[in-house]
Amino acid sequence: MEIFDKVEEIKGQINAYTIDSVETLEAFRIQYLGTKNSIKPLFAEMRNVPNEQKKEFGQKLNELKVIAEARYEEVKAGIEQQSNKDAAASLDLFAPGSTLGQGTRHPVSIVMDRVISIFEKIGFSVAEEREIEDDWHNFTAMNTPEDHPARDMQDTFYLKTEVKSDIQRLLRTHTSSVQARVMENSKPPIRIIAPGRVYRNETISARSHCQFHQVEGLYIDKKASFADMKQTLLYYAREMYGPDTKIRLRPSYFPFTEPSAEMDVYWGLKTETDHKITKGTGWLEILGCGMVDPNVLKNCGIDPEEYTGFAFGMGIERQAMLQYKISDIRLLFENDVRFLNQFAAAK
């Protein structure tokens, strides 16, 4: 019967089909396995096949499908194997590897590390302490009792006390709290710096943030003097800002020091920006300092009759912003890699 010959003919075509590329493989798939394949119309012929031959015819048609599928899978596997081989052959084992992206140091860390190494050179060691402090070490021991008006100078994040306890915990508002801890735990002479993060409940803007970094300094000995402090701070300013840097001390007030001062460095008035950031004076405040108040020594177990000391505290973000001409403090806390990558070469 003619229709059986047709099946045989297609079978012959499937076996003889030249498949030698991805394109011919696809053409084969469309021709014999696609939605409009040439086996399909034969199924419609079923109704013209005499009943006693229907079964045989059906089997032959299915066989066609199976053959086409097998051929397709076989050639496909061969082509894939070949292309893997080609890829392996073109793999250059001696090509230089792609470089791994290295992180960069954060400008705050860069400045902080410089401050630390400047003071380490003259014998200060690093003291680190907790960021969750209690009221005593942050305020009261530092001569700032509860009703002291100076508490308003720093807006504080207080922690909720869950267990019944009389200890009020807070996020330290300054690294001066480390002074109290160090004095309690060690005997003079004391010569430490305390770098770290501090928190204040302030509205975030281009100029202020609710978190920032400070480096505290504390020097206690038998005859520590205001002159020692001034010389130490002059040394710092010249190491940090260049050998010709000028400083000035302005009288100020802090509860924990008496007398107290603020230190300015001479920034200059060369450019318009210099005028802007120094408010036309050429001077820039970088730290607070003073002679440790005898009350503080007493609170922390050191005899003020025997010992005197000086202390200072400086902000790090401010100095980083000056050095790298960063106009918005928020950039320092957003961790935007486009910003941070600019410090790849900074030391």
The footprint of ligand DAH (CB under 6 A) covers 174, 176, 216, 254, 256-257, 288-290, 311-313
Report whether 59 contacts 42 (CB < 8 A): no
Residue 196 or 288 with smaller CB distance to ligand DAH: 288
Token digits of residue 52: 């006693």
Min dist. Cβ of residue 174 to ligand DAH (A): 3
Residue 72 or 254 with smaller CB distance to ligand DAH: 254
Q: What span, in angstroms and rounded, lies between the C-alpha atoms of 209 and 256?
A: 24
Min dist. Cβ of residue 97 to ligand DAH (A): 48
Min dist. Cβ of residue 313 to ligand DAH (A): 3
Residue 28 or 312 with smaller CB distance to ligand DAH: 312
Q: Determine phi and psi for 313, rounding to 5 degrees.
A: -145, 130
Min dist. Cβ of residue 115 to ligand DAH (A): 14
The helix (run of H) or strand (run of E) holding residue 199 is strand 190-199
The helix (run of H) or strand (run of E) holding residue 321 is helix 316-324
Give Rg (Cα) of the chain.
40
Place of tokens 């993060």: 197
Min dist. Cβ of residue 206 to ligand DAH (A): 20
Residue 25 or 218 with smaller CB distance to ligand DAH: 218
Token digits of residue 49: 């096949």
Q: What span, in angstroms and rounded, lies between the C-alpha atoms of 83 and 80?
A: 5
Residue 195 or 288 with smaller CB distance to ligand DAH: 288
Instruction: For residue 170, list its beta bridge partners.
Output: 133, 158
Min dist. Cβ of residue 334 to ligand DAH (A): 24
Q: Which residue has the closest beta carbon to ligand DAH?
A: 313
CA-closest candidate to residue 67, choices 17, 23, 2, 4: 17
Residue 216 or 317 with smaller CB distance to ligand DAH: 216
